């Protein structure tokens, strides 16, 4: 089906949230480490960190194997959510994250969040960002059948924005983000603030890299998000 007239003009700026806009990756690592430890699993923080950005079931499968995930994913996810929930009132946006979203909205971009969070967690992230007026929509875990690195979260975000992949940019901080964006056919901007090495993000499909939201904002005019 050819793009509509609206899709010919709409531009989507799609953002991951955890580790990209809100400083949560290492909080997730601590919560998953404790949840796994309580269940009798000895998994290193480094391994957990590399898995952050996957949905809960996929993360457990990645760390423990598919068979163990089928048996334990639900209980481990619930334990992680309880442990992580203690931070909800203290989540902090990364520097200039909210301002970046507002600037893009002012520049005519449709800003959409693509996140594996849902429910109270998503509400806490939005509160930390404090930029609801700039956000057109959200593709959350409740809206897709497959999470990143599948392209579905990014594709859902583009549908919400009414934009084509050719006129869209996805900003994320993990290998899974870059793989999802690449598979969805969008330009991928990687941020290093989530702690994933530059070379890993480049290998996964990042077209360009910045340190954090404030660095992207400072270089906006020269970035893929600066195009008219």
Question: pTM to 2 decimals?
Answer: 0.94
Q: What is the pLDDT of residue 227?
A: 66
User: Measuring CA to CA, how many Å separate 131 from each of 3, 84, 170, 206?
Assistant: 29, 22, 18, 25
For residue range 29-50, what is the model confidence (pLDDT) as tens digits? 999 999 999 999 999 999 999 9
Element (H, E) at 13: strand 12-15
As a CATH number, domain 25-86 is: 1.10.150
Contact 20, 173 (CB under 8 A): yes
Integer Cα distance of 154 and 90 in angstroms: 28
Tell me the mean pLDDT in the region 133-157.
92
**What class has domain 5-23+91-226?**
alpha beta
Q: Mind spelling out the 3-state secondary structure of 117-182?
A: CCHHHHHHHHHHHCCHHHEEEEECHHHCCCCCCCCHHHHHHHHHHCCCHHHEEEEECCHHHHHHHH
* Percent of the chain whose pLDDT exceeds 90: 90
Q: What is the pLDDT of residue 92?
A: 98
Domain ranges of the chain: 5-23+91-226, 25-86
**Which among 80, 88, 69, 72 has a CA at the least distance from the CA of 24?**
88
Q: Cα 59 vs. chain centroid, distance in angstroms?
A: 14
For residue range 168-226, what is the model confidence (pLDDT) as tens digits? 999 999 999 999 999 999 999 999 999 999 999 999 999 999 999 999 999 999 999 99
User: Measuring CA to CA, how many Å separate 103 from each of 95, 131, 187?
Assistant: 14, 10, 19
Residue 7, token pair as written in the block: 């899709």
Integer Cα distance of 203 and 143 in angstroms: 28
């Amino acid at each position: 089906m050819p793009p509509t007239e609206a899709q010919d003009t709409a531009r989507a700026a799609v953002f991951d949230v955890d580790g990209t806009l809100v400083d949560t990756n290492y909080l997730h690592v601590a919560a998953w480490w404790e949840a796994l430890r309580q269940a009798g699993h000895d998994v290193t923080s480094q391994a957990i960190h590399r898995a952050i950005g996957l949905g809960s079931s996929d993360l457990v499968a990645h760390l423990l194997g598919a068979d163990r995930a089928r048996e334990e994913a639900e209980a481990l996810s619930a334990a992680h959510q309880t442990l992580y929930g203690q931070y909800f009132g203290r989540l902090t946006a990364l520097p200039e994250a909210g301002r970046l979203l507002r600037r893009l909205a002012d520049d005519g971009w449709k800003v959409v969040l693509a996140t594996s969070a849902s429910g109270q967690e998503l509400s806490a992230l939005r509160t930390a960002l404090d930029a609801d007026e700039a956000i057109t929509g959200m593709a959350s875990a409740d809206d897709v059948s497959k999470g990143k690195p599948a392209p579905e979260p990014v594709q859902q975000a583009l549908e919400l924005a009414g934009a084509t992949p050719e006129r869209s940019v996805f900003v994320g901080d993990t290998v899974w983000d870059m793989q999802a964006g690449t598979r969805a056919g969008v330009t991928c901007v990687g941020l290093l603030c989530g702690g994933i090495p530059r070379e890993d993000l480049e290998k996964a499909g990042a077209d360009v890299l910045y340190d954090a939201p404030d660095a992207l904002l400072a270089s906006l005019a020269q970035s893929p998000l600066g195009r008219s």
